[in-house]
Amino acid sequence: MNKQIPSLNTFRVLAVVSVYGVCASAGAQTLNVGMTAPPITVSKWIKGSPSPQLKQGKVYVVEFWATWCAPCKESIPHLTELAKKYAGKAEFVGVSVWERPKHGEPYDSTLPVIEKFVSSMGDKMDYVVAADTSDRKMAKTWLDAAGQNGIPVAFIVDQKSRVAWIGYPWQGLDETLKQVVDGTWDVEAAARKQNPELDKQRAAAEASRIAQEKEQAEVEAWQKTPMGKKFAQVSQLRKDKRYAEALKVADEIAQMTPDNSVPDPAESATTIKMDIYERMGDMDGYYESANKLFAIWDVMAKKMTSSGMGLRRANGGASELYMLSFAMNNGLSWPIADPKSKLPRRDFDFAIKVAKRTVELTQNKEPNWMDTLAWAYWGKGDKEKAIETEKRAVEIAGPTGDPQYKAALKKFMGE
């Protein structure tokens, strides 16, 4: 899991700054069910035998993902199971798209990140994997053309090299793939059913592109404001390891007037200070900031839940409430609960408190957060609760879930 998570407000700013490559391209071509699938054009084949051509007579599943995408990671083991099940009948190709290079660096600079991710997945990602080109050829000709502005998303290509189906891996892929392989899938009927919805998605993607361009322009203008300049200053000071000065700038940020990009300067400043204290090895400062940040996020969570916000948006994407639980887990509890944690002092009581809250926010439906809680119990020495909680994580994940949950359970049970 990613150890450092920016504040939600800072995250919103960074998301807009990094928007290039995430939104649909203007004037993108159209790709509907029933049409000939575009060629596979990638910058590098990361794993498995290259599949540069979609051959007639073969079935393909082309799935799009990214290293930063939590739902993508969750879907990978299941794709591996399907790849094994249909070995010799269907070829699976996972294409990394919409990666996030560091500011000012070229898109291809993300290749080492992709390679490291794929290597870390090991046999759980056991199919052909590739990375998109520097000009995002695959994202443009497949995702943008089909009006898809979220990942993971999969395309099934039939024996006639036609797009037979487009959708999320957990919503119809298994059933459709079986019919496509058996030759019983009615592509024309599928086109009549799915293409009108794809037209709506393309229209929505174009509207999103226009909105994101506007937001990006606003962020660029914001970077020239006093708040934007302070963020740039503290970032440079951290990079230069001038931590005492960085802490002072963070305190200045906390006292600044909120703006549209940073509506809660105190939250952003607390996140920054927590990171700085960790770099300094000052655990008192670290946990003081962590507790303050949790209190801030908990207030936000209560407001979201009281308004009736769910975990998913109407389009299936993660809601702000889900992202808040993600930030709590990955930014606060997991750095402590992680058995490989390098924190010089690990406050398991704090990790348990935060993990229990993330489990509550996700209504006991998120195995990752449940797994974090189990490890927090284990770190505190409560073997019984660790086993009980990890069993729940395994149960929620189901038979196609991350095998690390089962491995953790075996460890806790001494097997």
- C-alpha–C-alpha distance, residues 300 and 61, integer Å: 40
Whether 23 is catalytic:
no
For the chain, residues classed under CATH 3.40.30.10 are 24-210
Q: Provide the strand spans (E) within 99-152.
A: 128-132
- C-alpha–C-alpha distance, residues 255 and 135, integer Å: 41
Which segment, 12-26, 174-188, 398-412, is predicted with the most confidence on average?
174-188
For the chain, residues classed under CATH 1.25.40.10 are 303-415
Q: What is the pLDDT of residues 203-260, one digit of tens each?
A: 887 887 788 888 888 878 888 999 999 999 999 999 999 999 999 999 999 999 998 7
Q: What is the pLDDT of residues 106-165, one digit of tens each?
A: 899 999 999 999 999 999 999 999 999 999 999 999 999 998 888 999 999 999 999 999
Q: Which CATH superfamily is domain 303-415 in?
A: Tetratricopeptide repeat domain (1.25.40.10)
Which segment, 27-41, 74-88, 256-270, is predicted with the most confidence on average?
74-88
From 59, 70, 72, 300, the catalytic residue: 72
Q: What is the pLDDT of residues 248-306, one digit of tens each?
A: 999 999 999 998 778 899 999 999 999 999 999 999 999 999 999 999 999 999 999 99
The overall average pLDDT reported for the chain is 89
Whether 69 is catalytic:
yes
User: Which run of H or of E encompasses 64?
Assistant: strand 59-65
Q: Tell me whether residue 346 is exposed, middle or buried, using C-beta atoms within 10 angstroms of its C-beta: 0 to 12, 13 to 18, 19 or more.
A: middle
Q: What is the predicted pLDDT for the residue at 33? A: 93
pTM for the model: 0.55
Residues 374 and 390: beta-carbon distance below 8 Å: yes
Of 383, 386, 381, 384, the closest CA to residue 355 belongs to 386
Percent of the chain with pLDDT over 70: 93
- C-alpha–C-alpha distance, residues 360 and 358, integer Å: 5
Q: Which two tokens stand for residue 19?
A: 């928007």
pLDDT above 50 for 5: no
pLDDT above 60 for 384: yes
From 69, 290, 373, 393, the catalytic residue: 69
The domain made up of 24-210 has a fold known as Glutaredoxin (3.40.30)
Q: What is the pLDDT of residues 294-341, one digit of tens each?
A: 999 999 999 999 999 988 887 778 889 999 999 999 999 999 999 999
Q: What is the predicted pLDDT for the residue at 15? A: 35
